[in-house]
Amino acid sequence: MLNYHIKPEPDQQRLLLLDQRLLPGQEQYFVCRNADDVVQAIREMVVRGAPAIGVTAAWGCWLAALRLEMDGLDKSRYWEPLLNEALQKIAQARPTAVNLAWAVNRMREAWVDLGAPDLASLVKAWQAVAEDIHADDIELNIRMGGHGAALLEDGDTVMTHCNAGSLATAGYGTALGVIYAAVEAGKKIKVIANETRPWLQGARLTAFELQKAGIEVKVACDNACAILMQRGLVQKVITGADRIAANGDAANKIGTHGVAVLARHFGIPFYMAAPFSTFDFNCASGKDIPIEERAPEEVTQFRGQQIAPQGVPAWNFSFDVTPAALVTAFVTEHGIFKPPYFRSLKKLRERAGQL
Ligand code: MRU
């Protein structure tokens, strides 16, 4: 399991993040020493993937408090508004993946539970909470994989979109976790990694970690989905998700909706794997999910080189919403949930202890 990409170093008062922008060519760490570094790392895609940015955000809160302590602010009460400001910045670093706000809320709750702690006690308590969030994420991905593995058959070729693997989580992965678990159960699984324009998470990251794990992977252009499915080269599709609304509409990397439409057209099961922290029951439907729009240059340029004529604008929605009706089932750490989602997601909330 690739699990060295989010590396807190409390003794060095820093957080190291494997810079995913440079993979697969270089393995280099981005050093975070304060909340602003963490916000920059999340915004600029040093770390990405819904659960991974949640875990990073938790460490970011700890780092923000630690920084204030190191700057000697523990003697005054000024640290509280400064810390609140830092937490807000972290929670807003990217808008779509709900795991980010979820993690910051968990840190806030731990703060409230402590009453009115001094800064040193808060730093200590937050380190333990961040460690828990980090370890829980790996553990629940493994559980999710165990549930989802039953959906894959020996000999299947599975298509995935973007990267929902170890790199997108604290380790093991959501969609790729299901594939890892099926392989560990002795099934022979091949993977098609859609390249995932414009950041190429599929070609760079999914292919990187599957190759490292010894799983056969082939990269395909995003626009090759239809021919691959038409030729019977895909038996299942499984992706991750960034935010799932109460009715089962699910935001994931741009292009996922198109893959789901094609899967339905060709009669191929389309699964989404995500932890409970990715479900947002405050969003009634996909219409309420904020969709991040990133800089047009990410589309009109490639590695600094202009590829569209100068001055031509570009759409750059980072995510789209797959309607619940196209999702065959959700795989979570609490089991597999099938339509009708108004009923099954209620059961998910009960199992997660939320109802
Ligand atoms: O823009 P990214 O790379 O953060 O988008 C990531 C995705 O869309 C993933 O599929 C999603 O976060 C699920 S990760 C387990």
Best of 6, 23, 253, 317 for a ligand 1 pocket test (most atoms within 8 Å of beta carbon): 253
> Which residues have a catalytic role annotated?
242
**Ligand 1 atom nearest 169 alpha carbon:** 15
- 50: CA distance to ligand 1 center in Å? 5
Residues 6+ apart with CB under 8 A from 137: 51, 54, 55, 169, 170, 171, 275
Task: Give pLDDT tens digits for 185-210.
Answer: 999 999 999 999 999 999 999 999 99
Residues 6+ apart with CB under 8 A from 91: 57, 100, 101, 104, 105
Task: Give pLDDT tens digits for 15-38.
Answer: 999 999 999 999 999 999 999 999
**Is residue 61 within 8 Å of 107, Cβ to Cβ?**
yes
Res 3 pLDDT > 90: no
Output the pLDDT for position 101.
Answer: 95
- At 73, is the pLDDT very low, low, confident or very high (cuts 50, 70, 90)? confident
**Is residue 191 within 8 Å of 206, Cβ to Cβ?**
yes
- 131: CA distance to ligand 1 center in Å? 22
**Lookup result for tokens 């700890």:** 62
Output the pLDDT for position 263.
Answer: 98
Output the pLDDT for position 106.
Answer: 97
**Is residue 272 within 8 Å of 327, Cβ to Cβ?**
yes
**Lookup result for tokens 């098609």:** 192
Output the pLDDT for position 75.
Answer: 81
Res 1 pLDDT > 90: no
- 8: CA distance to ligand 1 center in Å? 22
Look up the CATH number of domain 6-142.
1.20.120.420
Mean of the pLDDT values across residues 168-174? Answer: 98
List the chain domain ranges: 6-142, 148-353
Count other Cβ atoms within 10 Å, centred on residue 267: 7
Mean of the pLDDT values across residues 307-323? Answer: 98
- Ligand 1 contacts (CB < 6 A) are 48-51, 97, 162, 164, 168-169, 174, 201, 239-242, 252-253, 318
**Ligand 1 atom nearest 239 alpha carbon:** 10
**Ligand 1 atom nearest 51 alpha carbon:** 15
Output the pLDDT for position 217.
Answer: 98
- Which has the closest alpha carbon to 173: 188, 157, 191? 191
**Is residue 62 within 8 Å of 123, Cβ to Cβ?**
yes
Tokens of 125: 């308590």
**Residue minimizing CA distance to atom 6 of ligand 1:** 49
Q: CATH class for domain 148-353? A: alpha beta
- At 284, is the pLDDT very low, low, confident or very high (cuts 50, 70, 90)? very high
* Bond before 81 cis per omega within 30 degrees: no
Coil, strand, or helix at residue 13? coil
**Residue minimizing CA distance to atom 15 of ligand 1:** 164
